[in-house]
Structure 1
Amino acid sequence: MSDHKGLVLDETRKFHQEAQGSGEFIPGVTEIWPSGAVLDEDDRVALVEAALDMRIAAGPSSRKFESQFARRLKRRKAHLTNSGSSANLLALTALTSHTLGDRRLRRGDEVITVAAGFPTTVNPIVQNGMVPVFIDVELGTYNTTAERVAEAIGPKTRAIMIAHALGNPFEVAEIAQLAKDHDLYFVEDNCDAVGSTYRGQLTGTFGDFTTVSFYPAHHLTMGEGGIVLTSDLKLARVVESLRDWGRDCWCEPGKNNTCLKRFEYQMGTLPEGYDHKYIFSHVGYNLKATDLQAALGLSQLTKVDRFIEARRTNWRRLREGLDGLPHLVLPEATADSDPSWFGFALTVDPQAPFLRAELVDFLESRKIGTRRLFAGNLTRHPAYIDTPHRVVGELTNSDIITDQTFWVGVYPALTEPMLDYIVASVREFVEARS
């Protein structure tokens, strides 16, 4: 059997090598994607090996990935999920647990977040019956500031939930301190920023909870997938329960009686000795990932440092190439940070002699992929117009982002000729109209 397996894996490597195209870049013909997974033959072999072993549910690879990723982000516990969106949902929902006593979040509580971003940082607030408090961001960094967060704290504020924008850290140390000073929970959405640092400390190490996504656009991928991390063992236990149907039992699939008293519990109004595997202490979900996904994640994790460095190098090449170009706001790293960039944002000055849409159309016509800065101002979307929320200050920059901002890619598959072509194309368009 092992000989047959080795044969299949050898053939998988050959198949991967034969399936690769020439890789030749033809300007204006080859598509330059803004993001995407970077997958090699080791990744393909990892997936095939997991399939051959029929690891179709969460299992050894999932536990191993959780352990390795927790160590990387210097957190005590990590729980793998089926998406980064689910990770955010679990993190905020865990803070409503009855096990937290008077510190639990309740319906009507306020949670501070930013207006310009991706919906899945905000949706868990709404889905749990709480009130998002929207604040503005800065142009250039596309992050909010500790000062804005401080101004938004009110008598009903109970938590802060913010994402690092395009891999660029917000003032996370100062905001974590604000949370501590005001006895607020802090959920740090690190989905775009694996490997970023602020004041020499890894992002994802500041909050009560940290979340990460493994969607193909992100720093490492499982296809789908996400993770929730914390160093608070009580919170970790709640996340595990919520992720796994809300059950009270912590046995892994296929295991029994890990606690050595499976038939000795009495909880709720159940009869004494009710099987602990079927006692439910939370209204939960099934948001687990599979071992197939985790096997790919483990392979990707061995390359993540190389991916991060490529993102930084690619961002610098674009930044240096476009420096000094008029009518564009170029991106800037937050002070005291070293971002692991997700994308390269460009904002067209509202007074420019051309429209953002014209520049985007020009780039797209040259096969250079672009993306908006996600939702722009979320308060202007149909989903949130009638949703109870509070706004602190003007959302001027969020509106400018909605109208004027887009980004191009820096992900590791982009080559120097591709990046130089992006620079040359942007320069050609702007200089012809200046």
Structure 2
Amino acid sequence: MDQKYKVLLEEKELEIYELKRKISEYESRLNTLSEDHGTKLSNERELIKLMETKIFSLYRKLRTWKDKYFFTKRNDLIYRNSKEIVNLIPYKSNLAIHHPDWMGVSNSTKDLFEHRLPLPEMHSKLLINKIADLIIDRQIKHVIFSGFAEGYLQLSRRLKELDYSIMISVFWHGNTTHMYENYSWQRHNEIIQLHQEGLLYRWGFAKKTMAELYAYAGFPSFFVKNAVNNRNLQVSQSKQRGISMQKDRVGIYASGETWNKNAFTQIAAVKLMGDFKIDALPCNDRMKEYANQIGVEICGFQGGVSRAELAERLTGNLINLYVTFSECAPLLPLESLSQGVPCLTGPNHHYFEENPILKQYLVVNEPDNPVEIARKALIAIDKREEIIQLYNSWALENDITSKKTVRLFLMGVRS
């Protein structure tokens, strides 16, 4: 913290401490006064009231100063980091912008687009203008917002103000289920605004059916296929050999703790599989309590981990479960299979349509049925080698078609 701010804050905090000490003093004296000292009692109480008002005012000032200080520091940090990254990008390139805290979105962006800029929510017009200047100075020809965070609409408009020829596209990683979430609904409406204002070049979707829906509704819609770039998983072959697979461990991983991630049904399924333990992320107290109630050993915590650490956890399991109720185009099952570990999924994505045998092995059509999940998990364990061979063949073709969909999306040409 800058010395000037540090001194100011310390002074005000000391002033508050002294006022609180005086209040305690006066309250103590009040207790010794009887109601006979009417006027004095009234004056003392009034004095305490005034001091409490002053304390409240000081707290408000402190909060304002702290907010202003940290807000300014945050914006400065975002700008410095952005400048450093943008200056390394070749002139007249495509640039994909994503929120660095959205891990699934960030990983997808990293796997699909060569040049990227991590950019969190922006609430400052000054910061938005400075980021826009960086992009324009680099003569970026096409900006792709991978995911759509708060502030991206304003940045889009500013970019178009500075250079109307710059192309603005969005790559949306959600589905219609996300319309229940206020944040997603608001961002979705902002993309609609971009389209209505004539500023949106292309709207890509990671979920095939979403691309079909929005194309039918008259939007410039494109299907952009997810694929996993194994180099980005950061688990080398030598490291993989050093990770011992635990033959009695099942992984249950998700991006959050919402109902649609289906954690409890999957915990129940592991119980039905036999003598297995669970490694889960996130893993909250209720999940631990439920596992304990039905007699399943579970470990994990509520926080997230890096992509590299997640890849290590995936690799260390006999099988991983990602049997959820609603998805777009989840990367985790592909990451697991890329590491040689089968992963069951729910019936909510377009993966494996080209390979019905692989789809039969890995897709659970009844995600709320722990008996069915357990049955298919035991089959997948038994057919592990066949599944990985089938996946590797499918992945080769998927990588080719994924690159093609990205290329067509950037060019604005429908296949």
Structure 1 length as normaliser, TM-score? 0.24
Higher relative contact order (CA 8 A, sep 6+): 1
Structure 2 length as normaliser, TM-score? 0.25
